[in-house]
Chain A
């Protein structure tokens, strides 16, 4: 079973995705995440993929759709904590060309605070 979790980091809304992200899960998650993004006091979004056990291309669709929304609102989106199999899917999709992927949540957050200081 898949569940979600949202919380606010220093400079971003953090979405903790869990379980298997397929078409069924992505459809359930999509509107909930969009509501959180629109109501978030932070413009940036980090997807923490630590607890994602499988992601098919519906997960890529979910990420790309949220990327478009976040950037249209002037924010930056990043991903972190992808397992080897999830990373394989991300790489195949070429999403790393537009979305920064970090090893840990701390790395992703650090990059945002650096940008803020510029």
Chain B
């Protein structure tokens, strides 16, 4: 079954759980395994947290979550209009964090990459960041 959903919410940390609930509900009809569900929820949590903490640096903004299901392949798009990423390759390195003082582990993109089938990052400084992930369910 093909399906589509688009949600937009404030860049507040409390909305990380909202984003996880939305994606869980969206894929529930496919009867995913507990592991698949947990992988997708965690990856979405990472992407949304990045937008809130790094994209907007805690300032007010909007985060867009777009979900597409096509032949059991889930595509998750998380988009912000924040500060963007200066060096994507560096940001993708495991354990790299631009905010070591904030107890950030630097694992965000590594988690997205490991828990999903693919990860694509588009970012422009001052314009924002879009993260696109796919996973076959």
Enumerate chain B residues within 8 angstroms of A62, measured Cβ to Cβ: 103
Chain A residues 27-65 with CB under 8 Å of chain B are 27, 30, 54-58, 60-62, 64-65
Among A54, A88, A93, contact of B107 (Cβ-Cβ < 8 Å): A93
Considering the complex, give the chain A residue whose CB is closest to the CB of B12.
Answer: A24
Asked if B80 lies at the interface with its beta carbon under 8 angstroms from chain A, I say no
- Interface size, chain B (Cβ < 8 Å): 26
Q: Give the interface centre of B38, B46, B110 by most chain A CB atoms within 10 Å.
A: B38
Asked if A16 lies at the interface with its beta carbon under 8 angstroms from chain B, I say no
Enumerate chain A residues within 8 angstroms of B107, measured Cβ to Cβ: 57, 60, 92-93
Q: How far does the Cβ of A19 sit from chain B's closest Cβ, in whole Å?
A: 9
- Interface size, chain A (Cβ < 8 Å): 23
Per-residue CB proximity of B13-38 to A under 8 Å, as 1/0?
A: 11011001000000000000011001
What CA separation (Å) do A48 and B42 show in the bound complex?
A: 20
A residues near B (Cβ < 8 Å) are 20, 22-24, 26-27, 30, 54-58, 60-62, 64-65, 84-85, 88-89, 92-93
Known: A55-B42, A57-B106. 4 other contacts (CB 8 A): A20-B17, A54-B20, A54-B38, A84-B34
